[in-house]
Amino acid sequence: MKRICLTAALSLALSVPAFAETLTLDSIIALCSTGIGDEAVIAKIKSSGTHFDLSTDQMIELKGKGVSGPVIAALLGGADGAPKPAAMSMDSPDAMVPHPSGVYLLMSMGSGARMQRIDPTVTNQSKTGGIFGYALTGGIASMSIKTAIQNETAKTRAAVNRPTFYFFFDESNPETARQITTFASGSTAAVSSPAEFTLIKMMKKDGRREARVGSANIGGVKTGVMDKDRIAFDYEMVRPGVFKVLPQAALAPGEYGFIYAISGGGSNGAMTARIFDFSI
C-alpha cells in the first residue's frame, strides 16, 4: 500500500510543471562561469521571463565577469531575447530620445525645455509677380513665381531670434522607416539631411504668406528658391538620422520656413512645396 501511494505521489509531482525560476545577476554570472555556452544561458533567461533594466555600469561589470554580449542582450530584452524599443516622445528636449520623424523647434520653458513638432504646410497655389515689367520689356525683366500658404502667421512661434531646431529623419527610427514618412514628397529619393532644405523668409499679404520659388524671363524659367532669398544655417549630426540646426545669424521678426520638395505637380500646373513654417 505504501509503495502504491509513493508511486502515485511521484507521478503527480512529475506531472506538475515547476514554477519559472527568478534569475539574479549573480546566478547569470555563475551559469556563464560553468562554460555551458551562451545558448543554454539564453534559453534559461527566456524560459524564466527574466528582464533587467541594466545600467551602463552593470553591463560593464557583467562583461568583466565573463558574461557575453548575446547573454547581456537577452537580459535586456526579457523573455523573447530581443531588445525592447525605446518609447517615442513628441516633446522630450533630449535628441537621444526617439521622436517621430519631422522638424522640431526647441522651446525654452519656465520649468525647463521641450521640443515642439512643426507640421509641414503643403501648398499647391502659385501666382506671378512683376508681369507689367516683364511685358513692358518684352521678357527682359524677370517675372517672379510665388507659392502661397494660408494665414498670415504660423502656428509655431519661436521665443528667441536664433532658434534651435532638430531634424529627425527615418534613419533615426529604423522600426518606423516602412511607414509613411513626414518627408514623403512623391519622390523615390529619401530625404536624409538638412542640406536638402532651404530656410526662407516669407512675405505677409492679404491673409496669406508668400515665398518666391522661381522666376521667368526671355532667357527661360528657373524653379527653386533664388540665392538671394536663402537664409544661411548650420547643422551638425547628433546621432544617425538626427541633426541639430541653427541659423547662422539672428532672424528679424517675421515669418519663416524650411522649404523642400518644390515641384510643378499641383492642380492646374500650380507650383507645389512643403514648408515647415514658424514665426519670430
Q: Quick check: 278 pLDDT over 70? A: yes
Output the pLDDT for position 263: 58
What pTM was computed for the model? Answer: 0.61
pLDDT confidence band for 272 (50 / 70 / 90)? low
User: Does residue 231 lie within any of the structural domains?
Assistant: yes
Based on the fold, state whether residues 238 and 113 are members of the same structural domain: yes
Output the pLDDT for position 187: 42
Rounded Cα gap, residues 176 and 186, in angstroms? 18
pLDDT confidence band for 279 (50 / 70 / 90)? very high
User: Does residue 185 lie within any of the structural domains?
Assistant: yes
Q: Quick check: 185 pLDDT over 50? A: no
Based on the fold, state whether residues 169 and 238 are members of the same structural domain: yes
Output the pLDDT for position 86: 63
Based on the fold, state whether residues 167 and 41 are members of the same structural domain: no
In angstroms, how far is the first alpha carbon of the chain from the final one? 92
Distances (CA, A) of 123 to 10, 52, 56, 170, 265: 77, 49, 47, 23, 11
Q: Contact, 170 vs 103, CB < 8 A?
A: no
User: Does residue 25 lie within any of the structural domains?
Assistant: yes
Output the pLDDT for position 18: 45
Write down the mean pLDDT value for the chain: 75
User: Does residue 22 lie within any of the structural domains?
Assistant: yes
User: Does residue 89 lie within any of the structural domains?
Assistant: no
Q: 14-73, pLDDT tens digit by residue?
A: 444 444 567 788 888 998 998 888 888 888 888 776 667 778 888 888 889 998 888 888
Rounded Cα gap, residues 215 and 229, in angstroms? 12
Q: Quick check: 83 pLDDT over 70? A: no
**Greater pLDDT, 239 or 19:** 239
Domain closes at, from 80, 113, 131: 80
Question: How many structural domains compose the chain?
Answer: 2
Q: Is 102 helix (H, G, I), strand (E, B) or coil?
A: strand
Domain closes at, from 80, 110, 135: 80
Domain closes at, from 80, 112, 132: 80
User: Does residue 96 lie within any of the structural domains?
Assistant: no
9-18, 45-54, 119-128: range with lowest mean pLDDT: 9-18
Based on the fold, state whether residues 239 and 176 are members of the same structural domain: yes
User: Does residue 212 lie within any of the structural domains?
Assistant: yes
Based on the fold, state whether residues 31 and 137 are members of the same structural domain: no
Q: Is 135 helix (H, G, I), strand (E, B) or coil?
A: helix
**Greater pLDDT, 279 or 16:** 279
Q: 194-225, pLDDT tens digit by residue?
A: 998 999 998 888 888 887 765 555 655 555 67
Q: Cell 513628441 appears where?
A: 90
Based on the fold, state whether residues 109 and 71 are members of the same structural domain: no
Based on the fold, state whether residues 179 and 73 are members of the same structural domain: no
Based on the fold, state whether residues 72 and 141 are members of the same structural domain: no
Range of the domain at 6: 2-80
**Greater pLDDT, 113 or 248:** 248
Output the pLDDT for position 211: 79
User: Does residue 272 lie within any of the structural domains?
Assistant: yes
Based on the fold, state whether residues 22 and 120 are members of the same structural domain: no
Q: How many helices (H) and strands (E) does the chain have?
A: 6, 14
Based on the fold, state whether residues 118 and 65 are members of the same structural domain: no
**Greater pLDDT, 38 or 85:** 38
Based on the fold, state whether residues 157 and 46 are members of the same structural domain: no
Based on the fold, state whether residues 13 and 118 are members of the same structural domain: no
